[in-house]
Amino acid sequence: MKITIIGAGNVGATTAQILSAKELGDIVLLDVIEGMPQGKALDLQEAGPMYHHYCNISGTNSYDDTAKSDIVVVTSGLPRKPGMTREDLVKVNAEIVKSVVEQVVQKSPDAIIVMVSNPLDAMTYVAHKVSGFPKERIIGMAGVLDSSRLKTFIAMELNVSIENVEAFVLGGHGDTMVSMIRYTTVAGIPVSELISKERLDAIIQRTRDGGVEIVNLLKKGSAFYAPASSVVEMVDAILRDKKKILPCTVLCKGEYGLDDVFLGLPVKLGRKGAEQILEIKLTKEEADSLNNSANEVRELCKTVSL
């Protein structure tokens, strides 16, 4: 298998590191900065003997080297700066993502694209519009990350093993994400029986603010270990054809009563990409929250000019 990662920053390079340890395929790390992807790729390759993983890792500034990739992970884009609105960020990163995807399509017309660039839902929409790929081959990474944060905070609250916690979120990546507490369990026990509603509400809000909390702590930069691990979880499920169900950003075509909007939903991931969207029963409150999230994503996508 051939895996290309566009953007050799913290998220991209860490993704390459974890993927190489899993030996899922040969890895191409691409960035516009000359020497940077080449240096990181060589460093990772030299780590191979210590970790006993055997795959080819190369760095490049040319899309020619990404040709015939099986899967392409797009992390390119600018971070949100002080004073910048989400709409400002959309306009800037839409141009970057548009350029990236156009070249990916030209070199790897059969690839599956995993989007990581922010604002995630809008950038996945851009990738779909620009690529013309079928919807199962354009997938956004957000739900896996947000669900991991929710699981982490629940395990911390109860001082239990993270392995005991099952939780997931739906909807957009941001303030309108829908935490599915009704389906959240700890060793099979409904979490609502173990944590008060007040504390659960605080945990849900902390999950929504997960990225901002890390940005504020780091002062410079943003999260990359958990986002990279989330990407790998998806790539592993796809390339190993696991049929694993994960919350991912995909195009709705009637599911949950929603149409033509990219939103985080439970998805079966396999070698064909997003092979199936699973529909679960929602309460009226959950359905209303999901609709609200979808409306916010639609409004954000309206600011994109392609």
Q: Which of 10, 223, 2, 270 is nearest to 110 (CA)?
A: 2
Neighbours of 157 (CB within 10 A): 18
Per the annotation, the verdict on 173 as an active-site residue is yes
Contacts of 156 (CB under 8 A, 6+ apart): none
Q: Which of 52, 53, 128, 173 is catalytic?
A: 173
What DSSP character marks residue 195? S
Q: Are 113 and 83 in contact (CB under 8 A)?
A: no
Q: Which of 149, 144, 161 is nearest to 250 (CA)?
A: 144
Measure the CA angle with vertex 71, ends 239 and 171; round to 5°: 85
Q: Which of 294, 303, 263, 260 is nearest to 92 (CA)?
A: 303
At which residue do the structure tokens 């009226």 appear? Answer: 284
At which residue do the structure tokens 């957000």 appear? Answer: 142
Tokens of 202: 């605080």
Q: Are 27 and 58 in contact (CB under 8 A)?
A: yes
**DSSP-assigned beta bridge partners for residue 247:** 266
Q: Cα–Cα distance between 69 and 2 in angstroms, integer?
A: 5
For the chain, report the end-to-end CA distance as a whole number of angstroms: 32
The residues carrying an active-site annotation are 173
